[in-house]
Amino acid sequence: MVVDIELSDAEANRIFRALADSTRRDIVRRTLTDEATVSELAAAYDMSFAAVQKHVAVLEGAGLVTKRPRGRERVVHGDPERIRRAQRLLGAFEEIWRARVARLDALLAELKE
């Protein structure tokens, strides 16, 4: 089975490394439904503003969020299309593994006969 991958290996690695952290997953979740400034995001976590900025920078590097200036602040937006692309990649891998398990089941059924 050939997987139609819309993401390069490097892109997929950046996305899944970024999403490996629970704070970053929460930032993505929050900014997919409503934009937030970095200050607003930082207020929700028990960590420094600088630490939240670093999390946002990792997410931005992975293409999962974008920042735009609004006055003196930076507004963070989640990128739903990037999430969909990662989801499609995972779906493709799921199909591969389901096909492999089905082949293994068939082989084991043959061996029982």
Q: What is the CATH number of the domain that holds 69?
A: 1.10.10.10
Here the tokens at position 49 are 């503003």
Q: Tell me the per-residue pLDDT of 28-76, one tens digit each, with 9 for 90 and over.
A: 999 999 999 999 999 999 999 999 999 999 999 999 999 999 999 999 9
Q: What's the pLDDT score for residue 4?
A: 53
Query: Range of 24's domain?
Result: 9-112
Task: Tell me, yes or no, whether 74 lies in a domain.
Answer: yes
Under 8 Å between Cβ of 39 and 31: no
The answer to the question of residue 2 being in a domain is: no
Least confident of 10-14, 22-26, 66-70: 10-14
Span 18-25, average pLDDT = 96
Query: How distant is the alpha carbon of residue 17 from its chain centre?
Result: 8
Total domains in the chain come to 1
Asked if the structure places residue 85 within a domain, the reply is: yes
Give the mean pLDDT of the chain: 90
